[in-house]
Copies of this chain bind each other. A is one copy, B any other.
Amino acid sequence: MEDNRGIPARKNATLKDVAEACGLSVAAVSRYLNHSIKLPQSTTDRIDAAIAALNYRPNPHARSLSLGRSETIGLVVPDIANPYFAHLAAAVEQAAAEYGLGLLLCPTLSRTDRELDYLGRLSRQHVDGLLFVTNNGDDPALARALLGAKTVVLVDDDIDGTTAPTIMADSEQGGRLATALLIEQGHRSLAYVGGPQGLSSSRSRLRGFRRAIAESGQTIAIAAELHGPYSSAHGRIAAEQLLALDPVPTALFAASDEIALGVLSVFKQRGVKVGVDISVIAFDDVGPLELFDPPLTAIRQPVNAMGRRAVQIVLALINGEALLPATELLPVELIIRNSVKPPNR
């Protein structure tokens, strides 16, 4: 029993130190720690005491090397500064921690080379699994690289030509709900300001948009269907385009919060009153939309549920459990605020 208060340990205790301290073999202690052995209470007490006295904690690298896994997963996202991904990361980390997994952050800035690089880390067992969010789902090189990866779950979007399990929000239903609200409020000239044309998430939101129109039984003009990155820059460009239209549509559905931000900033700048001159509904609902001018109506993505579910599935994959259904769609929710009003023309 050593007295080590205050003084930083000269050297970390190893399993060997613990074993010696209580007169056992390292194997016995290791087995005890990994719950693969049953020992008499008196012995386990001795081990616990030695661990406490020596302040022993296993070296994770030795463990990883020996085990061939790291008990760490990676979260591959385009940009962690984006509030949507930040929320996703928080949800993922929390779920991962509950399952004893560490989380390595892998932001790609949407660069395919970085995405491939992180996939490489997976095969080197740097991480045991990867939660993969990409805006390059239409890149064949990515799809090819993904084929060899057995413990990847796609989040938020799928990738053409892969069979990896996928967790997504029900984007089509979201697009449908959003558009139905616009129609219900009386709008008859609508625009879709979408994400990248190649991405399934944006295609689904567009499908929902069209479907709500078809289902309405009304004569609705589709003033525009615009595509581009899920960015505020794209939102700004789209807003300019819409304002140049004649007539300007009376309502628009923006496929992400970020796009809506860009749209709103142009409208604000040009004096276009949201909810009066034009109604706007967004998709994601992660920003402080309730504080916007006016508070923004949006479709809320189930970020927490998606993060948690993705962790569960990657863990099942890591443990070699039976294949799960290829794609899971999680329900979205309509959050009504003040940016959708009946048209005033």
Contacts and interface: CB of A to CB of B under 8 A. Distances in A.
Contact of A57 (B72, B120, B290): B120
Interface in A73-92: 75, 79-83, 85-87, 89-90
Given A9-B123, A268-B291, A65 B61 contact: yes
Interface string A111-150: 0000000001101111000000000000000000001101
A32 interface: no
A80 B90 contact: yes
Contacts of A99: none
Given A12-B123, A124-B59, A268-B291, A105 B107 contact: no
A184 interface: no
A81 B70 contact: no
Contacts of A284: none
Contacts of A80: 80, 86, 89-90, 93
Contacts of A61: 61-62, 64-65, 70, 125-126
A32 B89 CA distance: 38
A161 interface: no
Contact of A65 (B62, B125, B265): B62
A65 B58 CA distance: 12
Contacts of A93: 80, 105, 107
Contacts of A287: 287-288
Contacts of A148: 8-9
A64 to B, nearest CB: 4
A152 B261 CA distance: 37
Nearest to A293: B293
Contacts of A126: 60-61, 102
Interface in A255-271: 261, 264-265, 268
A126 B265 CA distance: 44
A126 B295 CA distance: 45
A232 B75 CA distance: 28
A104 B89 CA distance: 12
The 3 closest A-B CB pairs, nearest first, are: A293-B293, A86-B86, A8-B148
